[in-house]
Amino acid sequence: MPTISDHPLRYALTNELHARPFPSVAAPSHAVYLAMKRKEGAAGSDRAAEWDHLLDLLNRFGAQHPQPDATHYSGQIGRFTLKWESHTEFVTYTIFTEGAVDHPFAADAFAVFPEDWLAAAPGQRVSSAIIQIEQTAEEADMLDKASKWFVPESIAISRVLDGALVVAADFRIDSAGHMRFAVFARDEVGTRRIGRVIQRLCEIETYKSMAMLGLMRAREMSSELALIDTKLTSLLSDMAGTASDPASVLSQLLEVSAQVENMSVQSAYRFAATGAYEKIVNQRIEVLREERFLGRQTFGEFMVRRFDPSMRTVNATERRLQVMSDRALRAGELLRTKVDVERSAQNQALLTSMDKRAELQLRLQKTVEGLSIVAVSYYAVNIVLYLLGPLEKTLAISKTILAAGVTPLVLICVWLLLRNLKKKIG
């Protein structure tokens, strides 16, 4: 078989499709989940710190290290199972512990993460959760436990994956600082299916929290946008008047445009990320294939009531920023057109004035030319009279008569001479 040249990324691209496999989780058990967000504009040093932080945790349990360029890891650390993932803006840790617990959602569940290790973590916690996995098929038992564990006003509970499991949460932070999720599985449900649901719940919580960062950014911009909008409206009103100075208004308008563009640049990444995270949240809820459980609200309904309005606020702020930018751009173009028209009128007036000056200068030049003929002729007549001086005695002609006869001829000659010179110069 002939040798085929492979693209250098062929295997990497194929393996990427199989990266981040779902964990296998048995019931009963519980899991603790932690998501740490990098600082804004994080550089490679922050990723290196995250990598060192992971290795520190693995070293404490004597666990095997992943490949140096890995973005995910699953393995045993003592009697626990660790799943680690590195994303664009955050890194996540999930630790699974098999077996039932006496006190579900106890604060000491997070003790699997060493206290000093948590204190040294790079970045900031964006989400943490305790997930309780129960094995039961009794609806009354599920509802009773969910009612005890979650706030009734906020609880969302539904059947997922064609009724194989029931999931519940209230999306509130408890007194220990963690979210709570409950997963109720039937006896026949496989470990991979349970793991897939837990993975989806962790993703929903993390991407929801990351998307909400866009809401905070939109709220921060709200007051500043209101001020800029007021100023822009005032400038547009000034443009409609006749007493305003277009150059001054244009200068102020350029300043407003610069402010709007700066805000747009500063918020572009966060708003784009929010839109991407929102889609992921909705997609993760969709793949759970929810069904209503005993008339309670589903996760999807909870998001419609609590999450979607926040995303609409972000989208509205982004559109408002774009509209203001477009308004400022159009106003600037109109004002520049107005300034150009006024400058054209000024230039036309200047050209008219220059034409009048040129015409006056031409008239003056012609007058000077007439005087110059007389002046040149005067000197020429005197020279001719000196040349014809001897004829005064020889022919007995008086100097006055001689001058009267010579002058017309001299004038004609000078006029012809200057005319020829003028033609040659022209």
Q: What integer is the mean pLDDT of 91-117?
A: 92
Bigger pLDDT: 391 vs 65: 65
d(CA 382, CA 395): 19
d(CA 109, CA 130): 8
Residue 259 contacts residue 328 (beta carbons within 8 Å): no
d(CA 316, CA 193): 38
Q: What integer is the mean pLDDT of 8-18?
A: 78
Q: Which of 32, 75, 285 is nearest to 180 (CA)?
A: 32
Residue 54 CB contacts under 8 Å (≥ 6 apart), including other chains = 66, 73, 84
d(CA 292, CA 236): 53
pLDDT digits (tens, 9 = 90+) for 20-61: 778 899 999 999 999 999 877 555 567 889 999 999 999 999
Q: For the chain, how are helix, strand and coil distributed in percent, rounded to 5?
A: 60, 15, 25
Tokens representing residue 65 in the block: 């290290």
Strand partners, 77: 80
The 3-state DSSP class for residue 18 equals coil
Tokens representing residue 379 in the block: 């000197």
Half-sphere exposure of 403 (CA within 13 A, CB side): 12
Strand order, beta sheet including 179-185: 72-77, 80-86, 90-98, 29-37, 124-135, 179-185, 165-169, 156-160, 291-292
Tell me the pairing of strands 179-185 and 124-135.
Answer: parallel
**Is the pTM of the predicted complex or chain greater than 0.75?**
yes
Helices vs strands, H then E, count in the chain: 10, 9
pLDDT digits (tens, 9 = 90+) for 284-322: 999 999 999 999 999 999 999 999 999 999 999 999 999
d(CA 285, CA 297): 13
d(CA 107, CA 175): 9
Tokens representing residue 118 in the block: 């948590």
pLDDT digits (tens, 9 = 90+) for 144-176: 999 999 999 999 999 999 999 999 999 999 999
pLDDT digits (tens, 9 = 90+) for 397-411: 776 776 777 778 777
Instruction: Please state which of the ranges 96-110, 134-148, 386-400 shows the lowest mean pLDDT.
Output: 386-400
Tokens representing residue 255 in the block: 């300043």
Tokens representing residue 26 in the block: 């048995």
d(CA 172, CA 22): 25
pLDDT digits (tens, 9 = 90+) for 345-394: 778 888 888 888 887 877 777 666 666 767 777 777 777 777 766 766 67
Q: What integer is the mean pLDDT of 417-421?
A: 74
Q: What integer is the mean pLDDT of 206-233?
A: 92
Sheet strands (E) in 136-276: 156-160, 165-169, 179-185
Report the residue count for the chain: 426
d(CA 272, CA 315): 10
Give residue 186's identity as a one-letter amino acid code. R
Residue 235 contacts residue 254 (beta carbons within 8 Å): no
